[in-house]
Chains A and B, each alone.
Chain A
């Protein structure tokens, strides 16, 4: 069956510092290549947020991040859409602002949307910058066929440290890089968080380019599982994954 799917890139004027718009492009193409009728909308902060099946929230600098959080709280559409079953991919600053609290530029706590049970504080150590490899495990989301996602690969660039509460689950365990930074002394332990159909990660920018299975997981959530997602020829993505997994520093 065909179904109409709306993918919204949230506030590219505020959140889109690291090529995050690419995630919207990837989701839209992977849906369209399966014969799904897709609308890809870029939703500016000055306008009411449209209803969508799948929202992509990107990274941004401290000031725009706070502004985006305020706009989204005032607008109210995103929490309502999530309550109705919409899916969310939130990366980096976007991940922080869908949690309960995150720090502004001065380190003061700002209220987030509370779509994930996660709290971010300003890290005390160095900014986390570099390649990340993280392995899904028990508690990680399952694909439509009940499998774990393959190993996640990406690039992180953030100063925050995030603790995931009991109301959400971690996305994966860090093999290389920092991720949530919830290990001893702000060191690596877990990466990302998810609950329901909301997924947050520090793998910033075009995380879906390296993790097509994650893209398909989100598409499955957004279509409510009522569309079968035929396999695509992901040879180029697999070549990129192999190269990046080999390049990540080992611990």
Chain B
């Protein structure tokens, strides 16, 4: 176990994790990662810190792009050749039980890359002493059960004010909330990764003044919070260094937001600490490894459902939906034909029970397309589309909706929120 001996209580806890996982698998209740992690934490509440000790830990958090960036960073930190495993919670189980399970599952891994729910970042920073923390973006998400976004930013800031210079914070300088959170850390790598959704960053998180944007930057009109000088930023289809040098970004995943995720992951990889005398990859090496990732957790995968070829896209909140609408525009501009579109919206526990956010998504941009509204909350979506003046068909059953959209043999694009996406992927 990474050179650090665990006490009897922690060893018992690890056994509990393995037993619970095994039982859960036998009972057919999924891979059981969360159940196992919970059992382990019940036996030893300090288990997470003990499992992390002696490993290099990178944490990835933000409202959108966590799972993808975690996956890209894990690949960037995996050198070619055999035997350098990286522990990673690739299933999206991004709370401590999931982290425990990921670390137990990879006892030999000297590095861990962990996706962290925004509300748990402070705890993970305190317990795992990370060498890298990646902060992507913050915007409104599941407000019925998650703290309001400014409170999340304040919690991050308090946690990062306490880290030392050995923790490299890789932060998106285009997001005022992220900037506010990261600023007190002693070693910040500022990256210009863009901002899809600015509506939550109009009021200054530091003083309540007004954030003004322009000329590629932003600044508060009252206090001194402003976009920091960046090391590197997105520019066109690639990136530009502070010294003016251009960097090509080859990313198999589509859309500007995935170029942002790739850039954040590459900078984080290059900022990582060495392991066993082996240094981190250079930015170029990291990007070359990232270019080999063709799929992350089913996002943008094309599946066959009853003879309909459907490309599955995940969007969970206004920023995520806006990013996908941007992607559709990018693709049309690049000459891709409009496809029938299935929009699937649920409001189960993992989605948040309140779909009011539908009114923050600029669905007006879909006017003129063939649209089918589906999912548990297709009625809410239908009313939203009516007022967006987007012609649509409403069909509660997703399989039937796919058939209605693609019955003529057309390939279909699907945008779905969390549980709707998982259902369509077919493993929940």
Q: Say whether B202 faces chain A, with CB atoms less than 8 Å apart.
A: yes
In B323-367, the 8 Å CB interface with A consists of 353-354, 356-360
Q: Shortest CB–CB separation between residue B142 and chain A, in angstroms?
A: 11
User: Is A67's CB under 8 angstroms from B380's CB?
Assistant: no
Report whether A17 and B140 are in contact in the complex, using a CB–CB cutoff of 8 Å.
yes
A239 and B199 contacting across the interface, CB-CB below 8 Å: no
Question: B382 at the A/B interface (Cβ < 8 Å)?
Answer: yes
Q: Which of B210, B356, B379, B386 contacts A204 (CB 8 A)?
A: B356
Contact A61-B394, Cβ < 8 Å, known A46-B210, A206-B359: no
Binary per-residue interface labels of chain B (148-165) against chain A in the complex, 1 for a CB within 8 Å, 0 otherwise? 101100000000000000
A243 and chain B: residue at smallest CB distance? B379
- Supposing A209-B380, A243-B379 touch, asked if A63 and B354 sit within 8 A by C-beta, the answer is no
Contact A13 B210, beta carbon cutoff 8 Å: yes
* Given A61-B150, A209-B380, A13-B387 contact (CB < 8 Å): no
Q: Which of A19-27, A81-89, A134-142 sits within the interface?
A: A19-27
A204 to B148, CA, bound (A): 15
B354 touches A209 (CB 8 A): no
Q: Give Cα A155–Cα B356 distance, bound, in whole angstroms.
A: 8
CB distance from A232 to the nearest CB of B (A): 10
Cβ B356 vs Cβ A18 within 8 A: yes
Max chain A C-beta neighbours (<10 A), residue from B150, B354, B382: B354
B123 to chain A, nearest CB (A): 22
Given contacts A13-B202, A236-B386, contact A64 B359 (CB under 8 A): no
Bound state CA distance, A129 and B379, in angstroms?
A: 21
Write the nearest CB–CB distance from B350 to chain A, whole angstroms: 16
Contacting pair B354 A157 (CB below 8 A): yes
**A17: which of B148, B379, B380 is its contact (CB, 8 Å)?**
B148
Interface residues of A in 204-223 (CB under 8 A from B): 204-206, 209-210
Q: Which residue of B lies closest to A24 (CB)?
A: B359
A206 touches B199 (CB 8 A): no
Q: Does A34 contact B (CB under 8 A)?
A: no
Contact B382 A240 (CB under 8 A): yes
Let me know if B383 is at the binding interface, CB within 8 A: yes
- A209/B144 in contact, CB under 8 A: no
Indicate if the CB atoms of A236 and B203 lie closer than 8 Å: no
Query: Is A112's beta carbon under 8 Å from chain B?
Result: no
Mostly helix, strand, loop or mixed at chain A's interface? Answer: mixed
| A12 part of interface (Cβ distance < 8 Å) | yes
Interface positions, chain A 41-82, Cβ under 8 Å from B, are: 44-46, 61, 63-64, 67
Q: Is the CB of A236 within 8 A of B383?
A: yes
Give complex CA distance A204, B360 in Å. Answer: 13
Cα of A18 to Cα of B329 in the assembled complex, Å: 26
A14 on interface, CB distance cutoff 8 Å: yes
Say whether A4 faces chain B, with CB atoms less than 8 Å apart.
Answer: no
Query: Closest CB-CB distance, A82 to chain B, in whole Å?
Result: 25
- Pair B359/A25 contact, Cβ less than 8 Å: yes
Residue A237 at the chain B interface, CB threshold 8 Å? yes
Interface pair A64/B208, CB less than 8 Å apart: yes
Instruction: Check: B248 CB closer than 8 A to any chain A CB.
Output: no
* Chain B residues numbered 194-229 whose CB sits less than 8 Å from any CB in chain A: 199, 202-203, 208, 210, 221
Query: Is the CB of A16 closer than 8 A to any CB of chain B?
Result: yes
Q: Nearest chain A CB to B118's CB is how many angstroms away?
A: 16
Q: How far is the CB of A204 from chain B (nearest CB, A)?
A: 7
Nearest CB to that of B360 among chain A residues? A19
Q: Is the CB of B387 within 8 A of A21?
A: no
Residue of A nearest to B385 (CB): A236
Q: Which residues of B are in contact with A by a Cβ distance under 8 Å?
A: 140, 143-145, 148, 150-151, 199, 202-203, 208, 210, 221, 353-354, 356-360, 379-380, 382-384, 386-387, 389, 394
Known: A205-B359, A240-B382; 17 extra A-B contacts, CB below 8 A, are A17-B148, A18-B357, A19-B360, A21-B359, A22-B358, A22-B387, A61-B150, A67-B208, A129-B144, A129-B353, A204-B356, A205-B354, A209-B380, A209-B384, A236-B383, A237-B383, A239-B394
10 tightest A-B CB contacts, nearest first: A22-B359, A205-B356, A19-B359, A13-B202, A19-B356, A240-B379, A206-B359, A18-B356, A61-B148, A236-B382
- Can you spell out 18 A-B residue pairs with CB atoms less than 8 angstroms apart? A13-B199, A13-B203, A18-B143, A18-B354, A19-B356, A21-B360, A22-B387, A44-B202, A61-B148, A63-B203, A155-B354, A205-B354, A205-B356, A206-B359, A236-B383, A236-B394, A240-B380, A243-B379
